[in-house]
Amino acid sequence: MANEVILLDFWPSMFGMRTRIALREKGIEFEYRDEDLWNKSPLLLETNPVHKKIPVLIHNGKPVCESTIQVQYIDEVWSDKNPILPSDPYQRAQARFWVDFIDKKMYDAQRKVWGTKGEEQETGKKEFIELLKTLESELGENTYFGGDDFGYVDIGLIGFYSWFHAYEKYGNLNIESECPKLIAWAKTCMQRESVAKSLPDSEKVTEFVTEIRKKFMLE
């Protein structure tokens, strides 16, 4: 059976970026459909009726929701090339722990950096930098979070890098001075074709953030 792969996504989504990277790591051709989140398509509402959110991966007509689940699905279905999750059960559990950590902590913290003001923003900035330092500590002296191999945790985190310029602009931060090893890791990831093709230009993301701030009257 021929593989028909469609990805319903939104270009600045750090979660959708995960799925794009995983598909490209495996060399899978896919049809990319950018959604208007303020006017969601009938296909998105039909394929993700519970959360009504992107990304949605549709493989031969069957939808898979949630980016972390999509990445694991892609790794299992196309297991013959570029493994994403480690083969060792303990290492696999550790990788899942750190992506779960990213999912539970990072989104809310980064939202406060660019999407709030005053005391709430200051608290968010401190929380965000602490999270990055925790992740940098886990990275250690390794090239990637999985050691020498690009994998699940790298895919889980790297999408946020395309937003770093916006965090720095609106949070008045210098992330590289706080977390130099993490920035070096991000630059190494960006040398991979799968990542470079999947992450939008950071200036474009910052423009998007500026528009969102105007809508919420933060400008």
In DSSP terms, which residues pair with 9 in a beta bridge? 34
> What is the mean pLDDT of the segment spanning 82-91?
97
Structure tokens belonging to residue 36: 């208007």
In DSSP terms, which residues pair with 130 in a beta bridge? none
Question: 117 with 218: CB under 8 angstroms?
Answer: yes
Dist CA 97 CA 21 (whole Å): 20
Strand 5-9 relative to strand 31-34: parallel, antiparallel, unpaired? parallel
Dist CA 67 CA 72 (whole Å): 9
DSSP character at residue 159: G
**pTM for this model (two decimals):** 0.96
Residue 170 CA from chain centroid, whole number: 20
Other Cβ atoms within 10 Å of 137 Cβ, number: 11
Q: What is the pLDDT of residues 140-154, one digit of tens each?
A: 999 999 999 999 999
Dist CA 76 CA 163 (whole Å): 29
Structure tokens belonging to residue 102: 């990213």
Confidence of residue 3 (pLDDT cuts 50, 70, 90): confident
> What is the mean pLDDT of the segment spanning 119-126?
96
The order of strands in the sheet holding 56-59 is 31-34, 5-9, 56-59, 62-65
Strand 62-65 relative to strand 56-59: parallel, antiparallel, unpaired? antiparallel
* pLDDT score recorded for residue 125: 97
Question: 17 with 159: CB under 8 angstroms?
Answer: yes
* pLDDT score recorded for residue 2: 65
